[in-house]
Structure 1
């Protein structure tokens, strides 16, 4: 069962948890505990919290390469998610999924995905399976603006519309596909993509948790009632680079003025105002203690035994035949 995000205090706490988790993960990348780097979600927290606050216990979601926020907002244990990022056996997926493929099927988290747009057809499949089984479930597919030109997303929109499946497509438009401005790469618009398939769509302030929540509740409610798919374009911004490697590469594709302008719209600041300074400080202290325990847990967990590297390749446990893998 997921923890409900049904009050402003709980939503603020989750925003702070995601922000603190990502800041801790950045520290562990720099120290070498997390190898390979991560795609930080800092700045976009309102989208994950707003959307997930509108979901029920049985609903499913698919995520992206920038997926820690979605996974946490859906209720995953931050200790086990951090252990997963660090490649430890106590991770959500025994250290095998890492940052870009974390999943928790018990919570309906069908996985982050390193392939741009690839979560959309999985969400459509989950919605179709729920329909076939007579289950009251909605599926949500998160993706970025870089997925708007991917054929697999358009195919998913088409199928969901044709079969009137209970899917909510959530585009986190942070303005950049890696370093490429969306304005120079996307003909038409995100909402236009949805309109072409007859899917109801709305543009939302993705820096405002309550605005996202309101739009998500309407979209999820319509899908659950049999009204078919919906599409949300959440205008948001990542405060950090596309990937932690960016600092080392010293890329310069955004001006300091642009970044500071978006930072002034930090979703945590708006959410903090709604609950008051004293309550906010108390929740911050709770989250700090929770993250300290998550770090202790992750660092105490063992690395997987290399002898088991070929385990879990098949659902039934079958291993590759001898000599099939060099």
Structure 2
């Protein structure tokens, strides 16, 4: 039985770890018997009754959450190193700290549901089934990347999994996402579109224009504000008179979610999808946090203290929260989880090495491509 959805979808150019033998060796529980866990915080709602805090999960899902988030975290740390080594050029926006949003959302929907996001898109691509090799190749501008090396960090793309890309223009993905939702309704697909944007983009006029049309036409649109509290180095309280982003739709229902709790995100996204299919758009505000700066040119420590960052890591880190759940339910031991993280690191290092070498010689690259 596969330990992780992400590793099982790795590109054929990079074989995933032998997770089946890993499970046999360590006897880590992959039981699918339902486990009910209460979310860390209650949901706060606007114009709608909130979902239950009791979330159904399983040993298998919790192990999958842990490994997938660890893989995302390690990928972003590797991307940071590659940028500093000048192997990644241009813009690069990292997602470490926000992994629970990508993981929880994916657990609640299917690949028929579409996702479109901003320039902080690496982990969303991985969550949709993208491979590490494709990700690192794209970051380094190689033709073997998910956008053939033409998009770079801000423009990952995977149409076969209904991932319609990252977008560099702040808030521009909002009308595009509502357009995708219009197409789904027009085609009677019984699917929804999740449009992700940040707290900085929440002040863009095009967001309100798109939301107005979505509400008028009852489109199956879920607008997800990933509120990491700092838009391009500016704290939310300095840029928004009303930072209650889940209420910004006024006439559209909203829900505020602990975006550092993967199970809370899963519950909220499942709830939002059901609502959007029956009643039209809904806004989700994910209260999350980024550990790195806004981009690679931002040290991330001039407008907030290091104590603030370390405090969030200690109390709200999404990976540690799942780690504690796994240990509390006797699914795996601390050592087994540390070993899993070591395996993840090896997998990421192997993908980096392969992406560095594959296509380094342009003539050799052209000879290998169809």
TM bin (shorter chain): 0.7 to 0.9
Structure 1 gap ranges (5+)? 306-326
Do residues 163 (structure 1) and 232 (structure 2) align? no
Hey, what's the Cα distance between the residues in 1 that align with 2:275 and 2:354?
41
Hey, what's the Cα distance between the residues in 1 that align with 2:263 and 2:139?
30
Deviations 1:32-51 (A, max 9, x none): 11112411111111111111
Do residues 127 (structure 1) and 181 (structure 2) align? yes
Hey, what's the Cα distance between the residues in 1 that align with 2:187 and 2:92?
37
Aligned length: 300
- Contact 1:88/1:304 (8 A) holds in 2: no
- Contact 2:111/2:128 (8 A) holds in 1: no
Deviates more, 1:278-287 or 1:173-182: 278-287
Do residues 32 (structure 1) and 82 (structure 2) align? no
Hey, which bits of structure 1, 4+ residues long, moved more than 3 A? Answer: 2-6
1:269 alignment partner in structure 2:
320
Hey, what's the Cα distance between the residues in 2 that align with 1:268 and 1:164?
36
Hey, what's the Cα distance between the residues in 2 that align with 1:288 and 1:260?
22
CA 1:304 to 1:129, structure 2 compared with 1: closer, same or farther past 3 Å?
farther
State how 1:1-326 maps to structure 2 within 5 Å. Answer: 3=5, 7-188=61-242, 189-194=244-249, 196=250, 198-224=251-277, 226-247=278-299, 252-264=302-314, 265-276=316-327, 277-302=334-359
- Contact 2:118/2:168 (8 A) holds in 1: yes
Hey, what's the Cα distance between the residues in 2 that align with 1:37 and 1:193?
29
* TM-score normalised by structure 1 residue count: 0.87
3-state SS of the aligned residue for 1:53? Answer: helix
Report how far residue 278 of structure 1 moved. Answer: 4.0
3-state SS of the aligned residue for 1:287? Answer: helix
2:37 alignment partner in structure 1:
none
3-state SS of the aligned residue for 1:169? Answer: strand
- Contact 2:138/2:150 (8 A) holds in 1: yes
Report how far residue 112 of structure 1 moved. Answer: 0.1
